[in-house]
Structure 1
Amino acid sequence: MRLVDPTDFQILRALSDGRRDTAANLAVIIDKDRNYLNTRLPVLADEGLIERVGPAESSGLYQITPRGVAAAQNQSLYAADRDQFETAIDEQEPLITITDPAVHQTSVSAPPSDQ
């Protein structure tokens, strides 16, 4: 796996909360050119680190994968030893679960009615 350090890791960290985001938002978050990100996002998707998610195929929403979380957690290992980096990702990936962010709402009681 060939990643651009630090940009690819910045993208992975920006997505590491499990939420979906667009290239435009990611460009602002990590302070990089959107056109450049549009070249890196497909590479990260091809490596299985992020995935393009709907609702439409062309919606431009991306979400990190368990493999991407493991890669982000092992950035220092990537620079030191790429073989160990790959091994660490392979070992950690099955242990990571991503659940879609959920919205929880507490019900509000209705005011008493006048009778």
Structure 2
Amino acid sequence: MNTRLVQPTDFHILEALMNGRRDTATNLAVTCDKDRNYINTRLPVLADEGLLQRVGPAENSGLYQITPYGVAAVQNRPVYDTDRDRFETLLNEQASRILIDEPMIRQVNDPEEAQGNLLDS
């Protein structure tokens, strides 16, 4: 793999998705303070690089989610500028140890615990 990223935009997109949730070009454009059309051109490239994946439920829903390779890319961003070969090695080594769990809903028995979660978000 020879990952080619546009700095700083591609890293901003990846960082915006580091929470593991799915998002669209429109929302990412606002988060990254970039034009939506430009973000729309970058998302498929990042997906082709294996850093993002298109997710459904519809095939062309426009939803993207970060992959383990994308997480590893963000974690190793400083290496990208200085040593591309090392960056690729780190992606391959670290991606297999990264799990992305879908955001989940939990039901708790203690209403105060649930209230605390509402206040934290």
Q: TM-score, normalised by structure 2?
A: 0.86
The residue aligned with 1:103 is 105
The residue aligned with 1:20 is 22
- Structure 1: any 5+ residue segments left out of the alignment? 110-115
Matches within 5 A, 1:1-115: 1-106=3-108
Identity of aligned residues (%): 66
Distance in 1 (CA, whole Å) between partners of 2:84 and 2:25 is 27
CA deviation map 1:3-59 (0-9, x unaligned): 001100000000011000000000001101000000000000000000000010111
CA RMSD of aligned residues (A): 1.3
| Number of aligned residue pairs | 109
Distance in 1 (CA, whole Å) between partners of 2:10 and 2:75 is 13
- Structure 2: any 5+ residue segments left out of the alignment? 112-121
Measured after TM superposition, the shift of residue 104 of structure 1 is 1.4
The one-letter amino acid paired with 1:25 is N
Measured after TM superposition, the shift of residue 103 of structure 1 is 1.2
Measured after TM superposition, the shift of residue 105 of structure 1 is 2.6
Larger Cα Rg: Structure 1 or Structure 2?
A: 1
Distance in 2 (CA, whole Å) between partners of 1:87 and 1:108 is 46
Secondary structure at the counterpart of residue 19 of structure 2: coil
Q: TM-score, normalised by structure 1?
A: 0.91
